[in-house]
Structure 1
Amino acid sequence: MAEQENGAADAAAQTQPQVKLNVLTQFIRDMSFENILAQRGVGGEVQPDVQVAVNLDAKKRSAENQYEVATKVNITSKNKESEEPLFLLEMEYVGVFHIEGVPEDQLHPFLLIECPRMTFPFLRRIVSDVTRDGGFPPLNLETIDFMQLYRNEIARRKAENATQKADA
């Protein structure tokens, strides 16, 4: 009886394609760090208020099964008391992936959830190093919930489409 159950499980595993995911390369496409505090020479005690905005983009490359996923971060730090900006960091970090075995209807969420999840630790390290080298305490970004980010974007798009249809 156990042999029949194992055989059924093996057959089910064979009918589902094996997902293959390889990171081919990752790189900074664009980065800008403006140390406004140093430019203005603001002195005294500052209490930073940091805002982080994240945007994702994915596209198919010309090579078969290759995709490019860009994580764009926009980080602004302001003094809590005076609202004066301390620094601005903008970065586009790109991963190139070889992906096989993901069904077409699941590819979009896979690209915008799993791929950025793999490159995020590297992006976080760069942000930490750049802010530290810029004369600030290293900024260690909190882990981003890419699944929730994806769900929020889908909900935003549905609401936007509903608004457009209502206006038409």
Structure 2
Amino acid sequence: MADTPENGEAAATPQDAQAAPQINSRVLAQYIRDMSFENILAQKGVTGDAQPEIQVQVNLDARKRKPENQYEVITKLNVTSQTKEKSEPLFVLEIEYAGVFEVTGVPEEQMHPYLLIECPRITFPYLRRIVSDVTRDGGFPQLNLEQIDFLSLYRSELARRAEAEKANETVN
């Protein structure tokens, strides 16, 4: 009788291991590339009850670095807060948070989605902590960002680019 695991599935053979590439990813560094926090409430003052309304915009960028298999992935956040009643600005936080990754075993055609989906997932908890600390230290209740679905973000960017290309083709 052949060796099978207890769940009844066939055991992986050495040929299967050769067929599937082994993906390895290491975080070499993480850092704040640029950050700005503007406390408009402290500068100008806001009258009445300041119930905040917060908007968060996310952009991603990835670029190849000189050493082989190294990439820099940047998550850019633009967080604005304003009062619900009068739409008076409370604060603006702009931050670019970068991670340097060494990635091997990812097929070239899958590298772009890997860099813009998996890598930001790894660095996001650190970015989230920085946003929380900066808003708290700026005199506001700490802002705990909700988890970002980087897969949906990637898909919507691909759809947006496809629509832009389609619009350019009809104009030309």
TM-score range, shorter chain: over 0.9
CA contact (8 A) 2:128 2:145 kept: yes
**TM-align CA RMSD:** 1.2
Q: Please state if 1:150 is matched with 2:157.
A: no
Shift in Å, 1:163:
0.4
Q: How many residues align?
A: 167
Aligned equivalent of 2:116, options 112, 118, 122: 112
Q: Residue in 2 aligned with 1:40?
A: 44
Alpha-carbon distance in structure 1 between the residues aligned to 2:47 and 2:139: 13
With normalisation by structure 1, the TM-score equals: 0.96
Alpha-carbon distance in structure 2 between the residues aligned to 1:69 and 1:80: 34
More helix per residue: 1 or 2? 1
Higher mean C-alpha deviation, range 137-146 or range 39-48: 39-48
Secondary structure at the aligned position of 1:37 is classed as: helix
* Residues 65-84 of structure 1 aligned to structure 2 (within 5 Å): 65-84=69-88
Shift in Å, 1:45:
1.2
Shift in Å, 1:11:
1.5
Q: Residue in 1 aligned with 2:27?
A: 23
Q: Residue in 1 aligned with 2:7?
A: none
Q: Residue in 2 aligned with 1:137?
A: 141
Q: Which amino acid aligns with 1:38?
A: A
Q: Which amino acid aligns with 1:37?
A: L
Q: Which runs of 5+ in 1 are unaligned?
A: none
Q: Percent identity?
A: 63
